[in-house]
Amino acid sequence: MNPTPNPDLDLTITRIIKAPRSIVWNAWTDAASFEQWWIPEPAKCKVISMDLRPGGALVTHISETGGRFEPHMNASFLAIDPLERIVFTDALVAGWRPAENPFMTAIITFEDHPSGTNYAAQVMHKDRAVRDTHEKLGFYDGWTTVAAQLARLAEAQASR
């Protein structure tokens, strides 16, 4: 079950991706595919760990210039419901250990749609100030951009 979005605490995006749900799911859960779309271009992503199980790590690094990679995200998966839902948080790291600077929890859902897959991200925050900070940091620009990059990858794979 997914909580109803709370506009005071949550930011959400949705996108119809013209590819079967299995292809979109695989683009999200395959580390090599994930690296291709997770960070807005031209920055690059490197997956350090993607342990797809509750308590498993999701650790990525970013390179803004194509050179040296720096830490980007250190999170833990809370739920993996194949082909349906991925829940992760940076409030915890691998093994559900408390994180130093928690920021958000994300619920990613994948649903069948007549045109392919309805992809949605609900990003929850502890309070309005953190939510507003995330929005000002470019949530809509960033998450919409990476959803478009995910769509481009999945739609190209579906057309093969």
The answer to whether the Cα torsion of 15, 21, 22, 23 is positive or negative is negative
The residue to which tokens 């920021």 are assigned: 103
Whole-number percent of the chain with pLDDT over 70 = 99
pLDDT the model gives residue 95: 94
In one-letter notation, the amino acid at residue 13 is I
Which domains are seen in the chain, by residue range?
Answer: 10-158 (3.30.530.20)
CA distance 90 to 115: 32
Contact 109, 84 (CB under 8 A): yes
pLDDT the model gives residue 66: 82
Beta strands in 42-89 (DSSP E): 44-50, 57-63, 70-81, 85-89
pLDDT the model gives residue 142: 97
Could you tell me the pTM of the whole model?
0.96
pLDDT digits (tens, 9 = 90+) for 25-72: 999 999 999 999 999 999 999 999 999 999 999 999 999 988 999 999
pLDDT digits (tens, 9 = 90+) for 144-157: 999 999 999 999 99
